[in-house]
């Protein structure tokens, strides 16, 4: 959390695919200790284009829920540069 009580979920993802990805959306679901859903937030990778074999950072931030204990992230590709609409799910859970 930062000085104004915002929770920042900061990490990076890597493009293992054969094409450049564009507008990669990262969604975070936040849960309490009983694994009850509290809130959802999203942001996009800092780099607009994620080239094959490269990494892109992201920062999903939101007002910190009072009783948060863990989160799960989901990354989805909005479009790749070949013009093919794609979507994928790669969930990761963190506490």
How does pLDDT run across 18-75, given as a tens digit for each residue?
Answer: 888 888 899 999 999 999 999 999 999 999 999 999 999 999 999 999 999 999 998 8
Spatial contact of 91 and 60, defined as CB atoms under 8 Å apart: no
CA distance linking residue 49 with residue 42, whole number of Å: 18
CB-neighbour burial class of residue 68 (10 A; exposed 0-12, middle 13-18, buried 19+) = middle
Q: Quick one: average pLDDT of 84-93?
A: 42
Domain boundaries, the chain: 6-94
Identify the DSSP state of 32. E
- Which pLDDT score, from 0 to 100, does residue 78 have? 61
The pair of structure tokens assigned to 45 is: 């990778």
**pLDDT score, position 88:** 42
Question: Which CATH homologous superfamily contains domain 6-94?
Answer: Immunoglobulins (2.60.40.10)
What's the predicted TM-score (pTM) here?
A: 0.77
In order, the DSSP letters of 55-71 are: EEEEEEEEEPPTTEEEE
- Compute the C-alpha angle 61/65/67, nearest 5°: 140
């Amino acid at each position: 959390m930062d000085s104004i009580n915002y929770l920042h979920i900061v990490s990076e993802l890597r493009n293992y695919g054969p094409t450049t990805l564009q507008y990669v959306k990262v969604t975070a679901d936040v849960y309490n200790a009983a694994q009850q859903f509290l809130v959802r937030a999203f942001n996009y990778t800092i780099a607009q284009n994620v080239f094959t074999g490269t990494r892109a950072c992201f920062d999903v931030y939101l007002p910190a829920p009072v009783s948060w204990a863990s989160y799960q992230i989901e990354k989805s590709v909005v479009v790749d540069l070949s013009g093919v609409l794609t979507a994928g799910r790669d969930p990761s859970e963190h506490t």
